[in-house]
């Protein structure tokens, strides 16, 4: 495999839910907390905190906290794009951009996630590529589960560690 093939990955999932509901699951703090995060804190460009149902916009910054991890495990980043309909992008681990696109294919709504700009040095390439893609696979499956049937698959217990659901 050529080295630059490790610089990004693309994941897709079909979700049987209205497009606006799927988009809001990514683009509101409360939406993210239903399937992805324990706590999603967003601030606008002026530094004002956003409420759980306030749409996230380009330039907003975030702090994300996961179930199963203490508050010392936090991801901080910036929203790169948010068009209010079918495109949402943000910086993620190591400031790599993650882009969410939604579109119809074969009569179904597809959610596509692309994480790009992954490091290619020997020390982090595999760890980052494999670690991030593994996490996103679970969370995309959980998004589908929550939106289609209401079942949240996340581990919410701090005393359970090294499980695929956190």
- Domain positions in the chain are 3-149
**pLDDT (tens digit per residue) in 20-68:** 999 999 999 999 999 999 999 999 999 999 999 999 999 999 999 999 8
CB–CB of 58/68 below 8 Å? Answer: no
In words, the CATH class of domain 3-149 is: alpha beta
Per-residue pLDDT at 116 exceeds 80: yes
Asked if 62 and 79 touch (Cβ cutoff 8 Å), the reply is: yes
More confident call, 5 vs 148: 148
Q: Report the candidate in 23, 34, 138 with the shortest Cα–Cα distance to residue 89.
A: 23
Distances (CA, A) of 34 to 27, 71, 112, 161: 12, 18, 19, 21
User: Alpha-carbon distance 137 to 16, whole Å?
Assistant: 17
Distance CA 10, CA 6 (A): 11
pLDDT value of position 1: 46
Rounded to whole angstroms, how far apart are CA atoms 5 and 112? 18
* Bridge pairing between strands 74-82 and 87-91: antiparallel
- Among the listed residues 146, 107, 144, the one whose alpha carbon sits nearest the alpha carbon of residue 12: 144
Cβ partners under 8 Å of residue 28, min gap 6: 52, 53, 54, 55, 56
Question: Higher confidence at residue 69 or residue 83?
Answer: 83
Position 51 scores a pLDDT of 97
**pTM for the complete prediction?**
0.93
């Amino acid at each position: 495999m050529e080295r630059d093939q490790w610089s990004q990955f693309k994941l897709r999932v079909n979700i049987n839910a209205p497009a606006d509901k799927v988009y809001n699951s990514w683009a509101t703090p409360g939406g993210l907390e239903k399937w992805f995060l324990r706590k999603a804190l967003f601030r606008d460009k002026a530094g004002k905190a956003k409420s759980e149902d306030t749409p996230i916009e380009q330039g907003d910054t975030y702090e994300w906290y996961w179930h199963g991890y203490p508050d010392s495990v936090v991801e901080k980043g910036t929203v790169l794009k948010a068009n209010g309909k079918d495109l949402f992008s943000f910086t993620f681990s190591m400031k790599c951009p993650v882009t969410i696109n939604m579109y119809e294919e074969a009569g179904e709504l597809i959610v596509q996630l692309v994480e790009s700009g992954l490091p290619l040095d020997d020390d982090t390439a595999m760890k980052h590529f494999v670690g991030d893609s593994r996490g996103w696979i679970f969370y995309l499956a959980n998004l589908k589960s929550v939106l289609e049937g209401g079942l949240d698959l996340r581990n919410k217990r701090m005393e359970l560690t090294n499980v695929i659901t956190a």
